[in-house]
């Protein structure tokens, strides 16, 4: 099967850097995605990593280590609007190579 672990909550101040970790177990691995979801809204896609290393997209970066079954989302220059839940999702061999989501991490950005 597939399972993922994330911290349930993270708190940081405006302008700071925060890292949200994700560890996964999966039968076969194709990639790891990250999504952002504001309260009452729909998840929005942030990034996808299939290979080891760091991918940068503006203030957000995502890292993957396949040997450690581990990834993280790095948010820099935090803004109040970054307060949201963040989900990692793993793409494995199950469910037609579809994505299984983690439980989510709630990020609170304080002024």
Partner 1 sequence: NAGVTQTPKFQVLKTGQSMTLQCAQDMNHEYMSWYRQDPGMGLRLIHYSVGAGITDQGEVPNGYNVSRSTTEDFPLRLLSAAPSQTSVYFCASRETGGNYGYTFGSGTRLTVV
- Among residues 84, 103, 81, 106, which one has the least CA distance to residue 38? 84
Among 11, 98, 108, 110, binds partner 1 (CB under 8 A): 98
The angle formed by the CA atoms of residues 1, 8 and 59, to the nearest 5 degrees, is 100
Q: Which two tokens stand for residue 43?
A: 């998840």
Biggest CA pair distance of the chain: 43
Residue 95 interacts with partner 1 (CB under 8 A): yes or no:
yes
Residues 38-67 that bind partner 1 (CB under 8 A): 41-45, 47-48
In angstroms, give the least distance from the CB of 12 to partner 1: 21
Among 31, 75, 82, 92, binds partner 1 (CB under 8 A): 31
Residue 24 interacts with partner 1 (CB under 8 A): yes or no:
no
Residue 92 interacts with partner 1 (CB under 8 A): yes or no:
no
C-alpha distances (whole Å) from 91 to each of 3, 30, 40, 66, 84 are: 11, 5, 25, 12, 23
**Contact residues for partner 1 (CB under 8 A)?**
4, 8, 31, 33, 35, 41-45, 47-48, 87, 89, 91, 95-96, 98-104
């Amino acid at each position: 099967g597939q399972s993922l672990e994330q911290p349930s909550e993270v708190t940081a101040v405006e302008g700071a850097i925060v890292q949200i970790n994700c560890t996964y177990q999966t039968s076969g691995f194709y990639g790891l995605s990250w999504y952002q979801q504001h309260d009452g809204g729909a998840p929005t896609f942030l990034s996808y990593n299939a290979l080891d290393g760091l991918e940068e997209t503006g203030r957000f970066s995502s890292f993957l280590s396949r040997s450690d079954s581990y990834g993280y989302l790095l948010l820099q220059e935090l803004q109040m609007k970054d307060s949201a839940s963040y989900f990692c999702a793993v793409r494995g061999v199950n469910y037609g190579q579809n994505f299984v989501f983690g439980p989510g991490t709630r990020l609170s950005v304080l002024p």
